[in-house]
């Protein structure tokens, strides 16, 4: 058998591959993959203790939140509804800067 140094087709390793044994490359890659999997992290402790911390914490009641102000498109929509759609008087017109009622004349 003649052995020539060739690079891996995946680009990960440089292997000595014999041209007559194409399966050698696959066997070597499988060995490398198996070793890489053994280096992965392990689970700390058994799964029987899962949720331990949450069950030990005291239950705290949720607080009431104040309603936040509208922003952007929703704010413009609310302004339009207040000015025109909801509070338009029966005359059909609304004065944008009306004089106070007691000070006329």
Determine the structural domain holding residue 13 and report its residue range: 4-38
83 lies in a domain? no
* Domain count along the chain: 1
Query: What pLDDT sits at residue 32?
Result: 56
21 lies in a domain? yes
How much is the pTM?
0.30
15 lies in a domain? yes
Name the more confident of 2 and 93: 93
Instruction: Choose among 13, 18, 6, 40: nearest CA to 29.
Output: 13
pLDDT of 6-60, one tens digit each? Answer: 555 665 555 454 555 555 555 555 555 555 656 667 766 778 888 888 889 999 9
For 70, the token pair is 């509208």
As a whole number, mean pLDDT of residues 58-65 equals: 91
As a whole number, mean pLDDT of residues 68-76 equals: 96
11 lies in a domain? yes
Strand partners, 5: 16
């Amino acid at each position: 058998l003649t052995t020539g140094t060739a690079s891996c087709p995946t680009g990960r390793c440089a292997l000595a591959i014999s041209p007559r044994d194409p399966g050698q490359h696959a066997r070597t890659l499988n060995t490398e993959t198996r070793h890489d999997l053994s280096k992965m992290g392990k689970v700390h402790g058994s799964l029987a203790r899962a949720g331990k911390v949450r069950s030990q914490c005291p239950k705290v009641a949720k607080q009431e939140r104040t309603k936040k102000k509208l922003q952007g498109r929703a704010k413009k929509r609310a302004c339009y509804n207040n000015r025109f759609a909801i509070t338009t008087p029966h005359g059909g017109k609304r004065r944008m800067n009306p004089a106070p009622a007691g000070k006329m004349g």
